[in-house]
Amino acid sequence: MLGRQPRQRPPRGGGFDIDRGGKGTGMKQQTFTILKPDTVAKRNCGAIIKRIEEEGFEIRGVKRVTLSEDQAKAFYAVHRERPFYRSLVTFMTEGPVWVMALDRDNAVEHLRRIMGATDPAKADAGTIRAQFASSIERNAIHGSDSPENARSEIAFFFAASELL
Ligand code: RTP
Ligand code: MG
């Protein structure tokens, strides 16, 4: 029978911004987060994940990893000329982190909003960093700053087959 074409699907994994809901739901967007070593050490992962889920994010991929120095340097390469780069790499490799691929409408902007400012002293009340960060460096959580970076950060840690 003509007219029943298979539905075209975008690639999985690296790009799962799929409108899976059909009618009425907006386009899902992907973002990426790291629960940083301070969060894991203080056993705050559960509380932060609860908040992330309550905010409507779907956790599409999650794993616990300990970053190598090369991985931390590469992940934060954009900051390699900044005075805090060396210290940031030391911090990010001091213990395990949890990395997560997240899915939600307006995911990038929404996660950044609920994370709060980089410096917890400047973070709005009720944000994750206001609640859980200890300093501008030990600030509990990373969130992608653009959809493009979310895509590459997810691909940095996850194979497409882990995000089905
Ligand atoms: P992130 O990338 O981790 O989500 O944080 P962000 O966008 O809010 O901040 P960014 O400017 O990208 O900085 C990356 C991470 O570097 C550490 N940092 N330390 N000592 C300092 O002045 C300083 N500034 C930044 C923080 O861990 C920050 O999240
Ligand atoms: Mg950043």
* Residue 12 domain-assigned (yes or no): no
* Residue 18 domain-assigned (yes or no): no
149-156 mean pLDDT: 98
- Least confident span in 11-15, 102-106, 142-146: 11-15
Residue whose tokens read 């409408």: 105
| 35 touches 77 (CB < 8 A) | no
The domain total for the chain is 1
For the CA of 139, the closest atom of ligand 1 is: 27
* Residue 147 domain-assigned (yes or no): yes
Phi, psi of 144 (to 5 degrees): -55, 145
* Residue 17 domain-assigned (yes or no): no
- pLDDT of residue 111 exceeding 90: yes
Residue whose CA lies nearest to ligand 1 atom number 19: 137
Distance from residue 133's CA to the centre of ligand 2 (Å): 15
* Residue 78 domain-assigned (yes or no): yes
User: Does the beta carbon of 118 lie inside 6 Å of ligand 1?
Assistant: yes
Q: Which residue has the higher pLDDT, 16 or 118?
A: 118
pLDDT digits (tens, 9 = 90+) for 18-71: 444 334 456 899 999 999 999 999 999 999 999 999 999 999 999 999 999 999
Distance from residue 50's CA to the centre of ligand 2 (Å): 22
Q: Name the residue range of residue 58's domain.
A: 28-162
Tell me the pTM: 0.87
CATH value at residue 127: 3.30.70.141
* Residue 88 domain-assigned (yes or no): yes
